Amino acid sequence: MDAQDGNQQSQQLILGHNVFLLKHPDVPDIEKVRLKDEVLNSVKSNEMAPYYETLAADKVVELDQDVLDSMRAKNEEEIKKLDEKIADAEENLGESEVREAHLAKSLYYIRIGDKEKALEQLKLTETKTVAVGQKMDLVFYTLQIGFFYMDFDLISKSIDKAKNLFEEGGDWERKNRLKVYEGLYCMATRNFKKATDLFLGSISTFTTYELFPYETFIFYTVLTSIISLDRVSLKQKVVDAPEILTVIRKIPNLSEFLNSLYDCQYKSFFLAFAGLTEQIKLDCYLHPHFRFYMREVRTVVYSQFLESYKSVTIEAMAKAFGVTVEFIDLELSRFIAAGKLHCKIDKVAGVLETNRPDAKNALYQATIKQGDFLLNRIQKLSRVIDL
């Protein structure tokens, strides 16, 4: 959103995440004191009067009227200067200078956190823009506004707009950047399968440092891949991927999480999984899907374990996972009832019996059912024709 120095994350998105943590019930109070200082310092240094009002209205910070009045005065002064530059460019300079002057005003509205005026000014800047690449850059600014405010409707429309622009042309670097933006949107809206495909397609070409660091990107890629890919694909695309191997050990518990699942070391997997839960819970994009993700990961790991057996004792499974028999019994009964696991529990014998569905038989039954439905429709139609 603000001008980036190559490989730096947008200061606005860092601010947005800090505000999310300030509102999070699981963040300790002593940590919130530090976060509040960071948020206020960022707001004051960027003269974010409109955003400061929003934070005060949401009870995130206490309103200081003197601070607000001071920031408003600076905002008005700066906007007046920008308007003068636009007027000067329109009277004395060329079209590109006019566009640059309008863009500068757009970026200032983004910087101070005035969402509506920023979007209006970006639309106005677009009318002064001819090159497809420059139009794409405006869409990226809009997408960053969307992620800052978690406005998924705005993000969805902007992604569609970007795809339409690429039909007119556009370079590969911007196309690859859009993949990461769309992948983040898919992950934040619980479309983990599509997010995985987009993230894996961007690993070797990642340049979207304004959204998050490369380590965070790998973190998201591994998490989404584990619940989206089959075992063979996970090995080829993630476990053995050189780009992932270079950074995965920098992220606490992630390497153990991935490799212990593939190596069937279930006790180590559960320990690593427990270490990752806090990171997932405190991530602004993953937090709304925390419970869903926890269920999906457990479904994957329990299914993988049961895949090797026709029947297995509950005690043996509990030992493999390093948990109690009672815990496994309760866990599996929930997943079986929800149709997530294809097995049944023999409580008397203390045994799990798998009953994996036969894919061919299921297809045959579906074909018969659809055929009966079609014949019924034909019979009803023939009656109507006879009448």
Q: Where are the domains of the chain?
A: 9-149, 294-386
Cα–Cα distance, 289 to 191 (Å, whole number):
11
Per-residue model confidence as pLDDT tens for the chain (387 residues): 544 445 688 888 999 999 999 888 888 889 989 989 999 999 888 888 898 888 888 888 888 888 889 989 999 999 899 888 888 888 887 788 888 889 999 999 999 888 899 999 999 888 887 788 888 989 999 999 999 999 999 999 999 998 888 887 767 888 888 999 999 999 999 999 999 999 999 998 888 999 999 999 999 999 999 999 888 899 999 998 899 999 999 998 999 999 999 888 988 988 898 889 999 999 999 999 999 999 999 889 988 888 887 888 888 888 888 888 888 888 888 888 888 888 888 778 878 888 766 556 667 777 887 888 888 888 878 777 765
pLDDT tens column, 248-270:
999 989 999 999 998 889 889 88
Q: Topology of 9-149 in CATH?
A: 1.25.40
pLDDT tens column, 150-168:
999 999 999 999 888 888 7
pTM for this predicted structure: 0.84
Please, how many CA atoms are within 13 Å of residue 59, restricted to the half-sphere of its CB?
2
Residues 6+ apart with CB under 8 A from 22: 32, 35, 36, 39, 60
Q: Write the CA distances from 149 to 15, 116, 224, 385, integer angstroms.
A: 11, 11, 23, 59
Name the helix (H) or strand (E) containing 5.
none
Q: 3.40.50.300, 1.10.132.20, 1.10.10.10, 3.30.1330.60: which CATH number matches 294-386?
A: 1.10.10.10
Cα–Cα distance, 105 to 95 (Å, whole number):
16
Q: Which residues pair with 344 in a beta bridge?
A: 353
